[in-house]
Structure 1
Amino acid sequence: MLRLPLVTNDEFVSVDQFWSALLLYHERPHIANRRIIGASQIFFMKVQFKSKCVKRITELFTFSALIYEIRKMEKLSKEYVKPDFIKSILEPYDKKCELKESSVDEFLNCQNGTFISVRILLPRQNNYKQNVEVVVFDKNENLNVVTFFSVAERNEKIAAPVFPYDIEFLPPGIINVCVDCIEYAETVSADWLVGVLFPKLMKWAKESAFKLDVKNSLSLVNIDLYSNLYHSLKEKYGKQIVQMWPEKTDPYKYVYEDIAIASYLIALWTKYDPDHKPSFVDLGCGNGLLVHILNEEGFEGYGVDVRSRKIWSFYPDTTKLKVQALTPSADSLFPQTDWIIGNHSDELTPWIPVITARSSYNAKFFLLPCCSYEFDGKKFQRKNTSKSQYADYLDYIEGVSKICGLIVAKDRLRIPSTKRTCLVSYKRCYKPEMFPEIDNNISKVIKEKIDCKNVNETSERWIENYETRPETEKVRNCTKIDKDIVQSILKQISIELLKEEDFLIKSDGSKWNRGKKESFPNLAKRISPEYLKELKKQCGGLQTLIKNNKYLFLIENGFVQFRVPPFFDINNGKHKSKYCWFHENHPHGCYYNDSSCSYKH
């Protein structure tokens, strides 16, 4: 059989590094293939197969053989894809062939053997079809190779290469991606294998990225159900909400993020109680979209926030949202509520395990932490410097939950955010009669975490001087900084950029230095510490300040350079109202003369 290498590595890797990278790709294909939301694993089996006329069982997995067996299935789902699907292809060549249930753990500990993984790839977009993928692992002294077969009808569009491809390891440390037909090498899918997948594999190999103890994302829910829910809710609410979005925030990020969270919650609730639609309360509900979707899907519940948002007025009366400042107290309990939600709940985040524990024995929580806060509403200070602030805060909240007697699981969501780890509390580790002891432990931990003077043991209010979020949102976009400070910062940036020369020729023949390109971190080093401190109070800091002055600076790929001043167009009807910064501050003045510049000289 013809084997055509598409790409080969130029740095040697070990066989262990090879398998680390390949298993990461197998277990989490969505992190390489952005067209899929995940893979629904059906079975992973070790193969006992002997035939003199067959070198590798992959020779038998032709498109015709695979599609013939798939067409026999009543439906493309876990219930209908059985091991007999594979056995029917192998048995004509070895009637004694066996398929034994196995695992990735067993595969890693095995020195020799052939393993088969069968799963269904779940596309992210509705214009792609689900399809069966068969993955064959061959592992021995002379052969370390994985072959991928994605199978669907010829007229169906799927989110993976439609042809088989091998990823092989050859001594002393070469990795090849191969196909068996020249026509395949000239496709867009081949370009993806070379330009996207292969660089990721090499990166993972060097990092030895696969770890058995690292959970996949969406590990607490049925991924098939999640995928179906996501497509359904996206179709039902996505475009409609994006079109009517009145907020200044990016609708695509927030709308599809909340659709993904709603899909996750419904899949989670279906798992724990398939015959009952639970009630919920969303504390710090923000734009209220998550509440809106859950209400529309028939779940009883409401959202609470310290202030309303513009979009609230666009929701129907069936969407239950309340303006209320929540202070940790006996008044902030929800004894009749099944699930307490904290979706970017900020200052309330550490209190949600406490509120859950004290609301009722059956209360549960879903918590998606973002900004890190302590019990007193002040910023959380990292305790473990070997971890990131975010990772340490997750451990902190998990520790608080355990003190509250709650059993907690971690999971990772599929949302467009770097902070996508959620905590789910689904049951207690104590019997109901033990609650007084647990409640005493809760009071102790609150005392330990905050100033004891602020802890109120007799009042219904659990903490005094608690800093709640203000009803009106502060403007923190660097537009309220003292103008003298802004001008000083711009001057310091200017001095740094002009340290190198990149001359343009002005209309009068003289030179105008555009200066060098510089990264944000390096520019930050040139700013006075007292100015940086002022900027850190503002959302985005230095980056926001520079973006606010986009008529001065061009930002490309994280680097900043002076922008050529805009040319004055007399036909656009705009009058010059602002003074030209370059004319006053650049050593060569403005690039244009007074009549040509868009700003006053």
Structure 2
Amino acid sequence: MDIKTTKSVLFWQSIDILIRKPHLINKRLWGCIPLRKYICQVIECNWELALQDMKLGNSIEVDSFMAILFDKTKLKPISGLDTQNHSDTIEVILIELLPKTYTESHAYQLICLKKKVQAVTFYNVTPIQNNQNLCPNFIYSFQLLNEEITMNANSDSDSKSYLWLLKNVLPQVIRWTNQPVISQGNTSAIKDSLTLVPNDEYYRKYNYLKLKYGKEMVKIWPECTDPIKFVYEDVAIATYLLLLWDSKNLNGLTKSVSFVDVGCGNGLLVYILTKEGHKGLGVDVRKRKIWNMYEEDIKLEETTVTPENIQMFSGFDWIIGNHSDELTPWIPVMTAKSSYNCSFFLLPCCAYNFDGTKYQRQNSSKSQYNEYLDYIYKLCEDCGFHTEMDRLKIPSTKRICLIGRRRKYMENEYDKYQTTISYLVDNKNTVIRNEHEHLEINGFKTRDPIEKVRNCTQIDKSIIESIIKNITTFLLDGCNFIDEWTPGKELHIFELIKVIPQDKLNVLKAECGGIQTLLKNNHHIFKVQNGKVTLRQPKSIEETTKNIKKQGKSNSIIKLQVRPCWFYNNHPQGCPLSDTSCSFLHTRS
């Protein structure tokens, strides 16, 4: 393939991404739905004139819209076989643009691809009264000409839409053309999101569930995790599963599916799926606060899942492993041993082996995540599943799921295949010894039911005091202590690392957030803003009381002049406030 041909191929690959995934550039979009696609023999016509009075108000009118277009332009769709006999063809694509904000108007674009002249043109065919703001209202095009990509637009050069095309879209198309993505491994086959469910139905159902469950759940979220991420991620996964399970009875009702969510965490996925008519159970090694807020019909159990009790899940239609961590490789095994008709949904996150140890990357040419996906994919195949993979639309970088709905063997071979699976597990499992913080069962290391506190509050007090002294000495080094009171230098957090001894730094690294968490825990001493640290200016009783009132809290929530003033005891200039005005107690420690 010569350079010119390669450039052409890469250009059309870039245009394909632009058409199929406009949300990658346009942040107003959730995505798009292709409504129609035709290949036609080129006939000279004035497209702008033909489309001047043609508008598409909704997807119901698509066929009549295209019929009028073909009549006006005299274009005639040709079949795939006939295209081989025509060197000069035009591809016509009609798409519906879906807004990220569900209540906004949809937009419709007609796209014409002329392969012979290496050009693609976009026409907005949305009625003016719809007031769409998802795509430019004017005609614009991209063309590969003399190995360069150019853009033309029927618009004023200072309009917002034109500048957006010029500064955002055109450079991205050029980048895609110059830097093609190199695919490798099983994960390379996943080019699109939501390939196993209808996108239009997903869009409608996701927004329906988001309004029904999401908004209220975000308001009452009792966990310390980010509700925006965790709530809407579970809404998205629930949407996907509901569409995956959407097989109808003869009377038009959706069949009820029985499921178990292994490592269910907050249980929200179980809650939504149950409320939407399915029979489910969620199990986790540790109960969460939110469990008490669900109704009695939401079945959640605090239990430890091990290789010895995986048979407890037999009888379910589906086994779900949503970020199931050390149980991830066991999900296809559990499913295979449950029954011939049992299926699984698996969303791997943290990489673990069969024995509960962390998975170690072996191929440096791949990321650990991609290598682990390939490892789990092969494991699912070895367990006898025709394994499907898909990319979810969730607020997470790890969003590739694996689904096992069909077996590679006949039902009468089920018992025989169990021997193969047992042999597979025995070969992969290893014996773990001297792991006192975890439960040992057949070499499998489970998670501790009591979650370790890792917020720097359990570190030895002398170590914390030593680290604080290291940091404050560094911040105050070289400062003028003769004139007015000084909070010291303002330094970036990463600069503080070099003043903390390595042994104490290792203690911090074992905690969630490390040095940042320690600084936050001691916010009465340190002020952290925009990644920079300085000593905090001590606050008076009056200032503290005003802040409490602004936050709508009672004065009794924070007790004043109880804790010793750190500055009074440790700052070279002492505390700049008097004994009676400082909100902390001036007493020698």
TMscore range, shorter length? 0.7 to 0.9
Rounded to whole Å, the distance in 2 between the matches of 1:134 and 1:435 is 51
| 1:283-298 paired onto structure 2 within 5 Å | 283-298=262-277
Q: Which residue of 2 aligns with 1:568?
A: 540
Q: TM-score, normalised by structure 1?
A: 0.80
Q: Name the CA distance, whole Å, in 2 between partners of 1:137 and 1:495.
A: 66
The equivalent residue for 2:206 is: 230
Q: Does 1:215 align with 2:187?
A: no
Q: State the 1:270 CA deviation.
A: 1.8
Q: 1:324 to 1:175 in 2, by over 3 A?
A: same
CA shift for structure 1 position 298:
0.6
Shift of the alpha carbon at 1:198? 4.6
Measure the CA separation in 1 of the matches of 2:326 and 2:410: 30
1:475 and 2:453 aligned: yes
Q: Are the aligned partners of 2:42 and 2:89 in contact in 1 as well (CA < 8 Å)?
A: no
Q: What whole-Å deviation, never above 9, does each CA across 1:290-338 have from its counterpart, x for those lacking one?
A: 1111111111122112232221222122222222222222553433211
Q: Deviations over 1:242-265 (max 9, x none)?
A: 222222222221111111111010
The within-5 A match list for 1:291-310 is 291-310=270-289
The residue that corresponds to 1:372 in the other structure is: 351
2:456 and 2:49 map into 1 onto residues whose CA distance is 63
Shift of residue 34, structure 1, vs aligned partner:
3.0
Helix, strand or coil for the counterpart of 1:447? helix
Change (3 A) 1:179 1:302: same
| CA-to-aligned-CA distance 1:64-112 (integer Å, 9 cap, x gap) | 22x1xx35xxx625xx633x63352243343xx2224679xx99xx996
AA in 1 matched with 2:542: I
Decide which of 72, 94, 98 is 1:92's aligned counterpart: 72
- Superposed CA RMSD: 3.8
1:35 maps to what in 2?
Answer: 28
Distance of 1:136 and 1:238 partners within structure 2 = 39
Q: TM-score, normalised by structure 2?
A: 0.81
When residues 285 and 422 of structure 1 are mapped into structure 2, their CA distance, relative to the original with a 3 A threshold, is same
The SS at the match of 2:102 is coil
* Alignment partner, residue 343 of structure 1: 322
Q: 1:145 aligns with which of 119, 125, 128?
A: 119
Distance in 2, matches of 1:566 and 1:121, equals 54
Q: CA-to-partner distance for each residue in 1:16-44, whole Å, 9 max, x for gaps? A: 55444332222212222233322222333
Looking at structure 1, the residues matched to 444 and 23 of structure 2 have their Cα atoms a distance apart, in angstroms, of: 42
Within the alignment, does 1:534 sit opposite 2:513 as a pair?
no
Cα distance in structure 1, aligned partners of 2:21 and 2:120: 15
Seen in structure 2, the aligned counterparts of structure 1 residues 410 and 527 have a Cα distance that, compared at 3 Å, is farther
Amino acid at match of 1:420: R
1:117 aligns with 2:84: no
**Cα offset for 1:424?**
0.9
The structural deviation recorded for 1:361 is: 0.5
1:262 and 1:294 in contact (8 A); partners too = yes
Letter paired with 2:560: H
Higher RCO by CA contacts (8 Å cutoff, separation 6 or greater): 1
* In structure 1, C-alpha distance between the alignment counterparts of 2:299 and 2:217, rounded to whole Å: 17
The equivalent residue for 2:154 is 180
> For this pair of structures, how many residues does the alignment match?
551
Superposition map of 1:429-578 within 5 A? 429-451=408-430, 463-464=441-442, 466-489=444-467, 508=483, 514-517=489-492, 520=494, 528-550=501-523, 552-556=526-530, 559-562=531-534, 565=537, 567-568=539-540, 570-573=542-545, 575-576=560-561
Alpha-carbon contact 1:226-1:264 (below 8 Å) kept: yes
Query: AA paired with 1:233?
Result: L
Alignment partner, residue 399 of structure 2: 420
The 8 Å contact of residues 235 and 272 in structure 2, kept in 1 or not, is answered as yes
Map of 1:16-415 to 2, 5 A cutoff?
A: 17-51=10-44, 54=46, 57=47, 60-62=50-52, 64-65=53-54, 67=55, 70=56, 76=59, 81-82=62-63, 85-94=65-74, 97-100=75-78, 113-140=89-116, 143-158=117-132, 160-169=134-143, 171=145, 174-182=148-156, 185-187=158-160, 189-190=161-162, 192-194=164-166, 196-198=168-170, 200-209=172-181, 213-270=189-246, 276-330=255-309, 332-415=311-394
Amino acid at match of 1:186: S
Contact 2:354 2:429 in 1 (8 A): yes
Q: Give the drift of 1:167.
A: 4.2
Flag the 1:516–1:338 CA change in 2: closer, same or farther, 3 A: same
Q: Which residue of 2 aligns with 1:10?
A: none
- SS state at 2:196 partner: coil
Question: How far, CA to CA, are the matches of 1:137 and 1:164 in structure 2?
Answer: 17
Deviation at 1:206, TM superposition (A): 4.1
| SS of equivalent residue, structure 2 residue 218 | helix
Letter of the 2:430 partner, please give it. D
The DSSP-based 3-state class of the residue aligned with 1:440 is helix
The answer as to whether partners of 1:145 and 1:166 remain within 8 angstroms in 2 is no
Distance 2:515 2:195 in 1: 38
The alpha carbon displacement at 1:15 in A equals 5.4
Query: Does structure 2 conserve the Cα–Cα contact (< 8 Å) formed by 1:20 and 1:209?
Result: no
Letter of the 1:126 counterpart: Y
Q: How far does residue 14 in structure 1 lie from its aligned partner after superposition? A: 5.6
Shift of 1:567: 4.6
Unmatched runs of 5 consecutive residues or more in structure 1: 1-12, 455-460
Asked if 2 retains the 8 angstrom alpha-carbon contact of 1:21 and 1:210, the reply is no
